[in-house]
Structure 1
Amino acid sequence: MTGALDVLTDWPSRLDDLFGRISSEFARAEPRRQARKYLEGLLGDAKRKNAWQLAEQIGDARPWRTQRVLSHVQWDQDRVRDVCRAYVAADALYGSDKSLRVLLERREVPYVLAVRGNEVLNVLTADREFLRLKASALADLVPEDGWKRLSAGVGAKGQRYYDWARLRLFRLQEPPWDHWLLIRRNRKDHADKACYVTFGPMETTLADLVRVAGRRWAVEECFEIAKQECGLAD
């Protein structure tokens, strides 16, 4: 199996850049070095990544150094995760959790979260009319000229084109942030729609939101590839 380090010739430098962004979370030099070696091991060619094989991969006689970093050394996991993200994307199981949306907004983390059609949302129309309707009902209010055909990314059969629209949600927005309802419509079956509640900088474009929504569909595929590549599959 070809290791992930062979995929890009400049991957080591990219890993250096990425780790440089999180290295300050490790106060001491020794655990900082070991954390870096651990990442190299995960991306190496060993087909399985148990503790002993990882130790051999990174040149350690025993696995205790890495185990200590993972189980005893104090470092802020939430801060490390925040460094490595631009958006949070999730399906409706998570998107309908209002407490999650509030948490992300307080941390100023942009998101594109799918919601069920019965999610009740608030919209202020261009005529300054306040509407409180289900997401599916709001989606039905979009006029025909309000849709834009955009690709959500490449799928098994090429570009995945859908019709897209967005409505600005009425929330207690604090500049420079804003909220929208993003709506995806099947090009052939206009009754087939999907809705997303989104949060991001005020200058966020419709295309930006569509790109993130499309990336969410690849999550399961990425998980499977990562498990295989890192030797963590069943």
Structure 2
Amino acid sequence: MFDQAIARIAGRFRRVEPRATARAFVLGLLSGVERKNCWGLAEQAGLARPGRMQHLLRDARWDAVRDDVRTYVLENLGTSDGVLIVDETGFLKKGHRSAGVQRQCTGTAGRIENSQIGVFLAYASARGRALIDRRLYLPEHTWCADDERRSLAGVPDAVEFATKPRLALEMIAAALDAGLSTSWVTGDEVYGQDPDLRAGLEARGIGYVLATARTTRVRINQDRTSVPAEKAIGCLSTTAAWHRQSAGAGAKGPRYYDWAWVEIGTDGHHHLLVRRNTATGELAFYLCWSPRHVALSDLVRVAGIRWCIEECFQAAKGQVGLDQYQVRHWTSWHRHITLPEIRHLIAGLFPTPLSPATLLSWSNWRRSHQVTARHSPYRRRIAEPRTT
């Protein structure tokens, strides 16, 4: 089964060597190796050095494996009720040379940290869920306008600044153009508050349920009144407008909330969806649109599916080292992020244990490399001319 999966993407590699290395790379991702970076994966594969793994991610000639993974996911998970989910996740990094890295707010750490941000697209249906696309967010001022920094990190000249919602819309458009059939997109406030993303989805006839802030202004009363979202619920009756429904299964069973909706605009297709926590009374708000008239339960289902992408992140980071890379190059990042998703093409794996001689050789090489790396900055400082 594993070799059948690799055979599916074999045509993307122009030479046999990177094809064999990709096979070893994915085997390593699916193994129990502690650190799933180029060093750890090369050691797991029985290679003498990490050079082949690094060459695979940065310089080898191959591409479009993401398209194969997306096609496979849709063939096996695609249903009429499938939903696209957009979200980002952070990757904590040291230094300033990794493509897109800067001090920025990331949910991974829950605060501002030196990190990279990746925007992801997931697909979820009753059959399962999987990540199907990714984009590295490139900050505008610290990266897009710095030609030298872009060059060192291998950022292509054609790459320009794009907001996270813009990246999300590009991935959605690519999936739709590739033949994906879906009626809904969902995401958090970062995406719900972007009017261009909402307009782009409406132009393609794709419905959305996107979280938004309580301060977002919406138009009610047949477009005659503009109020913050948290004030719009004032037009709801105290009891009849609220309906207790499940937002899907959670770790402790169905996740029940009270839900209500308010028509906004004048076309009958735009709604403000409101979720109320049954225990605390806390409110959450969603901007919704659909090309046809739908029931409240349809919007609730889509809103609840959004959490599937968090489960995808947890699985990818915990099982196949999505966040354990040690690469700085633009191409290397996108390739590393793509290869873990090949696990969806594979049913089982039984890695061969490494010999004691291989383990000892890698231990010696790793420590030698670490000593060299540690002393290099001191050598550069000594060689620099002193100024008086």
Among 85, 89, 103, the residue aligned to 1:87: 85
Equivalent-residue separation in structure 1 for 2:206 and 2:294 (angstroms):
13
Larger radius of gyration: 2
Alpha-carbon RMSD: 4.6
Q: State the Cα distance separating 1:150 from its structure 2 match.
A: 0.9
Name 1:182's counterpart in structure 2.
Answer: 273
TM-score (norm 2): 0.41
Deviates more, 1:195-204 or 1:158-167: 195-204
Equivalent-residue separation in structure 1 for 2:46 and 2:289 (angstroms):
44
3-state SS in 1 of match to 2:84: coil
Q: Structure with the greater relative contact order (CA < 8 A, sep ≥ 6): 1 or 2?
A: 2
Equivalent-residue separation in structure 2 for 1:109 and 1:71 (angstroms):
36
In the TM superposition, what whole-angstrom CA distance separates every residue of 1:161-210 from its partner, at most 9, and x where no partner exists? Answer: 1111233443889xxxx5432211233555x3210113455365433432
1:47 maps to a residue whose letter is E
- What is the aligned length? 211
3-state SS in 1 of match to 2:303: helix
3-state SS in 2 of match to 1:170: coil
1:51 maps to a residue whose letter is C
1:137 and 2:226 equivalent? no
TM-score (norm 1): 0.61
Name 2:255's counterpart in structure 1.
Answer: 160
- In structure 2, relative to structure 1, the CA distance for the partners of 1:227 and 1:29 (3 Å cut) is same
Deviates more, 1:47-56 or 1:83-92: 83-92
1:51 and 2:38 equivalent? yes
Equivalent-residue separation in structure 2 for 1:226 and 1:71 (angstroms):
21
2:41 maps to a residue whose letter is L
- Consecutive unaligned residues of structure 2, counting only runs of 5 or more, are 74-82, 87-185, 326-388
Among 260, 285, 299, the residue aligned to 1:209: 299
3-state SS in 2 of match to 1:130: coil
Among 211, 214, 219, the residue aligned to 1:117: 214
- In structure 2, relative to structure 1, the CA distance for the partners of 1:229 and 1:188 (3 Å cut) is closer
CA contact (8 A) 1:25 1:76 kept: no
- In structure 2, relative to structure 1, the CA distance for the partners of 1:220 and 1:146 (3 Å cut) is same
Equivalent-residue separation in structure 2 for 1:136 and 1:104 (angstroms):
25
CA contact (8 A) 2:12 2:65 kept: no
Equivalent-residue separation in structure 2 for 1:184 and 1:147 (angstroms):
9
- In structure 2, relative to structure 1, the CA distance for the partners of 1:118 and 1:199 (3 Å cut) is same
Equivalent-residue separation in structure 1 for 2:288 and 2:65 (angstroms):
25
3-state SS in 1 of match to 2:245: strand
Name 1:6's counterpart in structure 2.
Answer: none
- In structure 2, relative to structure 1, the CA distance for the partners of 1:146 and 1:66 (3 Å cut) is farther
State percent identity of aligned pairs. Answer: 38
- Consecutive unaligned residues of structure 1, counting only runs of 5 or more, are 1-9
